[in-house]
Structure 1
Amino acid sequence: MANSLAGKLLVAMPAIGDPRFAHAVILMCSHDEEHAMGVVINRPKEELTLSEVMEHLGLPTKNEIALNAVLDGGPVAQDRGYVLHSDDFTAGEATQEIAPGIRLTATRDVLEAMSGKNAPHDFVLALGCAGWGAGQLENELKHNAWLIVDPDKAIIFDEEHEAKWTRAIRALGFDLSQLIGSEGGRA
């Protein structure tokens, strides 16, 4: 698809109107005429750490990543894990290239690597994803629900979740005060 948003960040406008996506930053993983799918990258799940997920799966956790947050990746497939990671790990056909230097793996392979010596340098685990049917995302874009931003590894992988929405908007050269209805925005 010529106008695919795969690999881009979608940043919710202040007046998006859907509380599930208020101040959301989504890394788009796929987008074609039939569907779109992305992972919310700025919503840590309350009181859930990577070590708890790994323990549930029977995998050891290295101390340096044990307290990493697990993200709420979106309202679809909340029981499924999606690992966004740097390009120094691959699980063959189970790994999808999202943008230069950024990949997605949604199989146990990446979690096993994270518990051992072959962990990707950068990674984040999200449970669930955001999904749209044919034409749904395009309609939301026509109604100015989202800003489109080039991917930034620092925004995707760092732990400063509260600041990601503001940083993504600033990456476009906007100040929050320039956005209509931004009175509820985070500074």
Structure 2
Amino acid sequence: MASRDTSPLTEDDPGADGYLAGQLLVAMPGMSDPRFARSVICLCAHSAEGAMGLVLNQPLDNLTFDQLLSQLGLDPVPPARRIRLTQGGPVEGSRGFVLHTADWETEGSLEVMPGLALTANVEILKAIAEGGGPREGLLALGYAGWGPGQLDSELQQNAWLSVPADEALLFEGAPDQLWRRALAKLRVDPSALSGAAGHA
């Protein structure tokens, strides 16, 4: 069996256009919006039209994968395998998105970056429940959204740090440790951060 690859799924640097799709946004300690305090967000789309991402470290406490399958009428329950559920953000909280490795795709799957995809089709949940589907994945209900130029402005105000995504940060470890682990990848000590310092 091949060893786990925890290297970035794509280059460390944002594209030449300055957009950050495929990067992780790590909230600075001075984050003014309590919904995003200490949040880590995988940015799935970022362009002049705006941005969309999924919060990775706010677990859903009131819903299990088995319960979700039952609600959607998908078999089998109990499933052959499960994925983690997270509250993806404050927008469209009843809409589900699966962030996953790109070794599996279906109609409508969106490439976030090489090696990482986003699917909002129930076919992926059925495949996972049957023991197939992508090698790694998580299900987010809702998402975080920004209008044109909004995220860029927040980055300039040092509301977020950006961190290259890798599979270990995306899919492994305890959610309550993710904020510190993401900062550690940048070799940043959380206690040394203030709301006025940082880079984007």
Q: Is it true that 1:9 corresponds to 2:20 in the alignment?
A: no
Looking at structure 1, the residues matched to 66 and 84 of structure 2 have their Cα atoms a distance apart, in angstroms, of 9
Shift of 1:181: 5.3
Looking at structure 1, the residues matched to 122 and 81 of structure 2 have their Cα atoms a distance apart, in angstroms, of 20
Does structure 1 retain, via aligned residues, the 8 Å contact 2:102–2:117?
yes
Question: Which runs of 5 or more residues in structure 2 are unaligned?
Answer: 1-15
Does structure 2 retain, via aligned residues, the 8 Å contact 1:99–1:151?
no
Does structure 2 retain, via aligned residues, the 8 Å contact 1:10–1:28?
yes
What secondary structure sits across from 1:48 in the alignment? Answer: coil
Q: TM-score by structure 1 length?
A: 0.90
Q: TM-score by structure 2 length?
A: 0.84
What secondary structure sits across from 1:45 in the alignment? Answer: coil
Q: 1:55 aligns with which of 57, 63, 70?
A: 70
Does structure 1 retain, via aligned residues, the 8 Å contact 2:80–2:128?
no
Task: Report the structure, 1 or 2, having the larger strand content.
Answer: 1
Shift of 1:114: 1.0
Q: 1:126 aligns with which of 140, 144, 148?
A: 140
Looking at structure 2, the residues matched to 144 and 26 of structure 1 have their Cα atoms a distance apart, in angstroms, of 15
Q: 1:101 aligns with which of 110, 115, 118?
A: 115
Q: 1:77 aligns with which of 68, 92, 99?
A: 92
What secondary structure sits across from 2:188 in the alignment? Answer: coil
Q: Is it true that 1:168 corresponds to 2:168 in the alignment?
A: no
Looking at structure 2, the residues matched to 100 and 112 of structure 1 have their Cα atoms a distance apart, in angstroms, of 24
Question: How high is the sequence identity, in percent, across the aligned residues?
Answer: 44
Does structure 2 retain, via aligned residues, the 8 Å contact 1:89–1:118?
no
Q: Deviations over 1:86-113 (max 9, x none)?
A: 1221004x11111232111011121111
Looking at structure 2, the residues matched to 154 and 118 of structure 1 have their Cα atoms a distance apart, in angstroms, of 20
Q: 1:29 aligns with which of 41, 44, 51?
A: 44
Q: Structure 1 residue runs of 4+, over 2 Å off? A: none
